A and B are shown apart, each in its own frame.
Chain A
Amino acid sequence: AQKITQTQPGMFVQEKEAVTLDCTYDTSDQSYGLFWYKQPSSGEMIFLIYQGSYDEQNATEGRYSLNFQKARKSANLVISASQLGDSAMYFCAMRERSTGNQFYFGTGTSLTVIP
């Protein structure tokens, strides 16, 4: 089974609108972390936001928030007030305590912000 599933290969959003990128995960660990990374066309991986499995509140970082629904094993990224510079690939990832802290990545969602 896939550890991380991103079902949206591509998304479009109008500038200044909000967009939600979906991510579901699969783990039997009690202790794990969920991450979102942005990858622009230049290729580097940029950390956006982190949610720990024991965190009771949803993580927020500026315009990014993570909608964490533990029972449903989902960790959706919400980008508010989209900007043209948000156009990029977005990867959801997970680290589990039991597997030595290596990252498991999803297949990514390509976001295009339309002016």
Chain B
Amino acid sequence: EPEVTQTPSHQVTQMGQEVILRCVPISNHLYFYWYRQILGQKVEFLVSFYNNEISEKSEIFDDQFSVERPDGSNFTLKIRSTKLEDSAMYFCASREGFTGITNYGYTFGSGTRLTVV
């Protein structure tokens, strides 16, 4: 079964450093997402991406965050200057196309656990 692949599975970075989280969505998918889960809390939407541009973003997704799809395969989330409160599990997700409200084709990756020290 096709998978959304995220690398690395765990990343430790120093406060103030830039970090890039990588995702390889399923190949025929068109919509891409990043979600965040701070330890012990609920999963929160960060951003959605379609047709090489951001289609929606949440209040969490401030100027410190950026996304891009540099090569038609990878989908990356960059945090420019990490803060301690950026420590969280980051999930990438993708879906095939407009499937209405169904779950069909909406797949989460296994997550990257980011620890800022």
Contacts of B110 in A (CB 8 A): 42-44
Among A45, A104, A107, the residue within 8 A (CB) of B111 is A45
Report which B residues bind A (CB closer than 8 A).
Answer: 31, 33, 35, 41-45, 48, 55-56, 58, 89, 91, 95, 100-103, 106, 108-111, 113
Contact B91 A97, beta carbon cutoff 8 Å: no
Residue B42 contacts which of A35, A42, A105 (CB distance < 8 angstroms)? A105
Give A95 to B103 CA distance when docked, in angstroms: 9
Cβ of B38 to closest chain A Cβ, rounded Å: 11
Say yes or no: B55 contacts A47, CB within 8 Å. no
Kindly list 12 other residue pairs between chains A and B, CB separation below 8 angstroms, not including A100-B55, A105-B44: A31-B101, A37-B108, A43-B111, A45-B108, A93-B43, A100-B48, A102-B56, A102-B58, A105-B42, A106-B42, A107-B41, A107-B42
Shortest beta-carbon distance from A5 to chain B in Å? 11
CA distance A101 to B112 in the complex (A): 23
User: Contact residues of A with B, CB < 8 Å?
Assistant: 31-33, 35, 37, 42-45, 47, 50, 52-53, 91, 93, 95-97, 100-108
Q: Main secondary structure on chain B at its contact with chain A?
A: strand
Q: Give Cα A37 to B58, complex, Å.
A: 21
A44/B101 contact (C-beta < 8 A), A91-B43, A100-B48, A102-B33 known: no
With known contacts A43-B113, A44-B108, A44-B110, A103–B35 Cβ distance under 8 A: yes
* A76 CB to nearest B CB, Å: 18
Q: Are B102 and A33 in contact (CB under 8 A)?
A: yes
Cα distance A31–B102 in the bound complex, in angstroms: 10
Chain A residue contacts of B56, Cβ below 8 A = 100, 102
CB distance from A92 to the nearest CB of B (A): 10
**Residues of chain B within 8 A of A96, CB atoms compared:** 101
**Identity of the chain A residue whose Cβ is nearest the Cβ of B95 in the assembled complex:** A101
Compute how far the CA of A33 lies from the CA of B105 in the bound complex, rounded to whole angstroms: 14
